[in-house]
Structure 1
Amino acid sequence: TGREAGAAPQVRVEIRDTGVGMTEAVRSRCLEPFFTTKGERGTGLGLAMVYGMVQRHSAELEIESELGAGTTMRVIFPTAWLRDAQQPAPRVRAPRRLRILLVDDDPLLLKSLQDVLESDGHSVLAVDGGQRGIDEFLTARKRAEGFEAVITDLGMPNVDGRTVAAAVKSAAPGTPVVLLTGWGQRMRGEGELPDHVDRVLSKPPRLPELRAALEELVARGSRTH
């Protein structure tokens, strides 16, 4: 914790390494979505997602780096945020057990979201990648075992979330599609809703927001049938 003269109390989390570091040109762009120095191995989304999460918590992110000397990342939280975080968030549960298709290329997020949704009583099929998500959705439709909601990541290689959403709506226009993205807050603020998508949420999503979105979208779909 710390406080500069005249400033409100803060909590600072600092992570430092002794790796290769970054040039100033790279450091100045490292938070930009899709900017990467890893070639085809990188998506350019990792730090952009981190920055989005930091902003959603009203925190600041500072990055200091020197080529050949390592990098220091510092997250600065206002203590008011910590007080708010101690207040339990209202738990919103979906009105009934849903069959949900979860599509992402991040195995950690897939597992964590699947566990949470299943603990809420839902039946969840978690699949790796956009093309497999489309294949599983269409196969389930043929077996008359369709999904009542689809949650998909936006930034996936080869077949992204927009393509998944388009395929879902083409086969089953009434199926709600929730799109997860590291810059979801900005997209919502600018009123940017991609075609074939019913709701955009930040990645990783806040669980009360995800639960509320599922409840609202599924209920809306039920009223239109």
Structure 2
Amino acid sequence: MEITNPLLNPLLERYVRETAPLLIPHINILRRVRAALNNGRAEFVAQYRALVEQEEQHPARWRTRGSELANQMTVVWADSLADHTLPDALQRGATWSAELYADGLDFADQYVLWKQYRRALLPTLLREFAAGPELALAFEALDAQERAVMGLVGVMGIVGAREQLTQGVHLRSVGRLTGGLAHAMNNTMAVIVGRAQIVEEQLTNEDLRQELRSIQRVARAGAESFRQLHQFATEHDGHAPERVDVNLIVNQVIQLTRFRWRDDAEASGISIDIVKDLDVTPQIWAQSALLRDALVELILNSVEAMPLGGIVTLRTERADDKVVILVIDQGEGMDETTRTRALEPFFTTKAVGHVGLGLATVAEIVRQLNGAMELESERGQGTTVRIALPIATGPATPTERQQARMARWASILVVDDEPQIRDVAARTFHLRGFRVVAADSGADALRVFQEKGPFEVVITDLGMPGLNGFELARALKDLHPQTIVILMTGWAAEIDPVKMRESGIDRAISKPFDVDQVVQLIGEAFAIQEKK
């Protein structure tokens, strides 16, 4: 399958451009692996086929295609490294990944395929490379290749989700597609960020520390992209209102719609820019998913109103007891008849088949948020939409310094059934001076809590065999109500606040997490407890 949709090119090309140089130091080893693989191809195919046939996660029809997959895997990820440049090899990998997605293998399936490839390669590696430093270099090269491959598979997953969005596929379907992808990638990114933080804490060379910070920034940015896409595809208005930073939502929406106002526009030969004019504003009470949906629709409307290109300005400001959001475009504008009907349900001037919320639904969202919406537009003069939302009232949260001071003495129990994530989290907090104990399951956590506790803080994964995070939190609160329980998951944005409270969970954090943010959350929780 050739990748022809121009929407795919910018994201894929950028990934290939930035990833190919990371494989250059390992290319000779990888080509040596390929040569050794050719000499023992029959043995490799037999082992790979056996692994695929035994894998219950794969759809049944795929478990009979082990030999075919083995040959495709070696052509794409071994032969192409010898026969093509690195960028071309990655492009070929992207094409194959897209074909697998189209044929029913999602990110998790493709991740398993790669792991089976690594396992089937083991006899070849042990035969080709001498034990010791030489074999270690081979494993290091395959680790680098794995990061590149799975990142590429993730990019193709985003690409597929974007195509579904632009074609009007129901967001629930996109949520299912991005859900497993986001969860798997967040776990991977959590390990990368955590390991980098651990090494950074122990280095004194500032140049190396800067490089490690760059790795952390890139990993967090990747995880944030997956989180935002999945959040946009799955969030609905069932969440209770919460304190919301309007400027944060505006920045998220700009990133979410970038594929439309930048990538799609460039592919059409026009230029559309978004200008931010964001004032420092207080928080508002709102359902963030609703506000995000409304602003996405306004930006997409503005882009569609500028077929020749132009500028969309997003402005925020305070006006008395309101926070005002303005979306201003340089589009075609509306005549008086269109303007007076623009907020009517089902009214549109767009072509048949247009998919969107419509200004009427945006106005309804604003009404649900106890706000007001105004529309200004003239033919040939563009359109301005003004949304005013009430400011949140209530006590301010403690300062970061106060929070950190309150949190620093805490003893922490880390609970996760994935060894790498558990180890990284425990070591990270230990290096910050906390007393840390780790547990590998909910049942183990209860045992450790009773034998070595109580602990001031428990940081637990959500999805674990036996007791899950919610059940563990309830059990811990029964034992020691003062313990602060923080849920560590790739799904933090989706957790129902009511269910969190009922389960005794005080805070939720997304993988990969930043240790300073966790310290801040612990401090906030301590501050709230002190006021009770």
Deviation at 1:182, TM superposition (A): 1.0
| Number of matched pairs | 177
For 2:14 and 2:517, locate their aligned partners in 1 and report how far apart those are by CA, in whole Å. Answer: 26
2:506 corresponds to which of 195, 198, 205? 198
Question: Where is the strand percentage greater, Structure 1 or Structure 2?
Answer: 1
CA offset digits 1:5-40 (Å, max 9, x no partner): 9x79x841569x92797463533x547xxxx989xx
Is 1:118 aligned with 2:437?
A: no
**Aligned letter for 1:99?**
S
- Asked if structure 2 preserves the Cα contact closer than 8 Å seen for 1:94 and 1:211, the reply is no
Q: Which residue of 2 aligns with 1:48?
A: 182
Question: Where is the helix percentage greater, Structure 1 or Structure 2?
Answer: 2
1:102 corresponds to which of 406, 410, 414? 414
Q: Which residue of 2 aligns with 1:93?
A: 404
- Asked if structure 2 preserves the Cα contact closer than 8 Å seen for 1:103 and 1:127, the reply is yes
Deviation at 1:57, TM superposition (A): 4.1
For 2:425 and 2:438, locate their aligned partners in 1 and report how far apart those are by CA, in whole Å. Answer: 9
- Asked if structure 2 preserves the Cα contact closer than 8 Å seen for 1:93 and 1:120, the reply is no
Gaps of 5+ in 2: 1-5, 21-71, 75-95, 114-178, 187-219, 230-261, 263-399
Tell me the C-alpha RMSD between the 2 structures. Answer: 4.1
Q: Which residue of 2 aligns with 1:26?
A: 104
**Secondary structure at the counterpart of residue 102 of structure 1:** strand
Note closer, same or farther for the CA distance 1:155–1:215 as it changes in structure 2 (3 Å cut).
same
Larger Rg: 2
TM-score, normalised relative to structure 2: 0.29
Note closer, same or farther for the CA distance 1:171–1:51 as it changes in structure 2 (3 Å cut).
same
Is 1:130 aligned with 2:432?
A: no
Is 1:214 aligned with 2:522?
A: yes
**Secondary structure at the counterpart of residue 73 of structure 2:** coil
CA offset digits 1:50-100 (Å, max 9, x no partner): 455635147999xxxxxxxxxxxxxxxx9xxxxxxxxxxx99734332111
For 1:117 and 1:124, locate their aligned partners in 2 and report how far apart those are by CA, in whole Å. Answer: 7
For 2:227 and 2:466, locate their aligned partners in 1 and report how far apart those are by CA, in whole Å. Answer: 33
Gaps of 5+ in 1: 39-44, 62-77, 79-89
**Secondary structure at the counterpart of residue 93 of structure 1:** helix
The 5 Å alignment of 1:42-81 reads 47-51=181-185, 54=222, 56-57=224-225
Note closer, same or farther for the CA distance 1:23–1:212 as it changes in structure 2 (3 Å cut).
closer
- Asked if structure 2 preserves the Cα contact closer than 8 Å seen for 1:101 and 1:126, the reply is yes
**Secondary structure at the counterpart of residue 152 of structure 1:** strand
Note closer, same or farther for the CA distance 1:25–1:208 as it changes in structure 2 (3 Å cut).
farther
For 1:59 and 1:221, locate their aligned partners in 2 and report how far apart those are by CA, in whole Å. Answer: 30
2:458 corresponds to which of 137, 140, 150? 150
**Secondary structure at the counterpart of residue 151 of structure 1:** strand
Q: Which residue of 1 aligns with 2:15?
A: 12
For 1:183 and 1:192, locate their aligned partners in 2 and report how far apart those are by CA, in whole Å. Answer: 15
Deviation at 1:207, TM superposition (A): 2.3
Note closer, same or farther for the CA distance 1:30–1:57 as it changes in structure 2 (3 Å cut).
closer
- The percentage of counterpart residues that share the same residue type is 27
- Asked if structure 1 preserves the Cα contact closer than 8 Å seen for 2:458 and 2:484, the reply is yes
- Bigger relative contact order (CA 8 A; separation at least 6): 1
TM-score, normalised relative to structure 1: 0.62
- Asked if structure 2 preserves the Cα contact closer than 8 Å seen for 1:104 and 1:153, the reply is yes
**Aligned letter for 2:415?**
V
CA offset digits 1:160-184 (Å, max 9, x no partner): 1111101101111121100011111
Deviation at 1:211, TM superposition (A): 1.4
For 2:428 and 2:223, locate their aligned partners in 1 and report how far apart those are by CA, in whole Å. Answer: 24
**Secondary structure at the counterpart of residue 433 of structure 2:** coil
1:176 corresponds to which of 470, 478, 484? 484
**Secondary structure at the counterpart of residue 126 of structure 1:** strand
**Secondary structure at the counterpart of residue 494 of structure 2:** helix
